[in-house]
Amino acid sequence: MKQLNLPLETTNLVIKPLTAYELQLYKINDGQLEHALGAQYHPRNVPFELYDALEQEIIPNVEVNKDAFLFYTLWSIYHKDLNCLVGDICFKGTVDEEGQIEIGYGTYPDFQGKGIMKEAIGLILEWAFSQEGVKRVLAETEHDNIPSHSVLKSNGFSPLENLYTTMWYLDKNSFKKRQ
């Protein structure tokens, strides 16, 4: 199994898992994180749900699960040409007994519609499938988030379950390739 070096990198992007200290800087959202990462500060909104998740789940899990922090932290997406952070990806815990793992992601509003997340998810999937035990990746998106549906489908995800307000996707193509 090919191991990918961290941070992950494409021609356009660098995807870096944030340490507990960097997550604190992310939460403060005043440019300190960008300075620490060598990026220009571009104002970003930290939605209440993410701020709360950082305080209640993400940072505590990163601090407690030091050996598996990559599955609990935010991975910041840095765009090389723009020299700034443009979005985030995360795993929602480690791989389960069935070999499944869930991802979450978001592109900052000023950078949406530019293909950034399509490229970032492709890279994070490659990393995920290089990890022991990972057989398939799940993602959930709101029904009305058409760009998110498109990003998932373009990365080999197929609809799995249609719930009242959300749709679950399974990365069936990658699962089939690795069986």
Kindly list the domain boundaries of the chain, sorted by start residue.
8-178
Averaged pLDDT, 105-114: 96
CATH of domain 8-178: 3.40.630.30
Residues comprising the chain, all counted: 179
pLDDT band at 1 (very low <50, low <70, confident <90, very high): very low
- Percent of the chain residues topping a pLDDT of 70: 94
Kindly report, residue by residue over 6-64, the tens digit of the pLDDT: 999 999 999 999 999 999 999 999 999 999 999 999 999 999 999 999 999 999 999 99
Mean pLDDT (the chain, rounded): 92
**121 within 8 A of 90, measured Cβ to Cβ:** no
The span from the CA of 106 to the CA of 166, in Å, is: 16
pLDDT at 174: 54
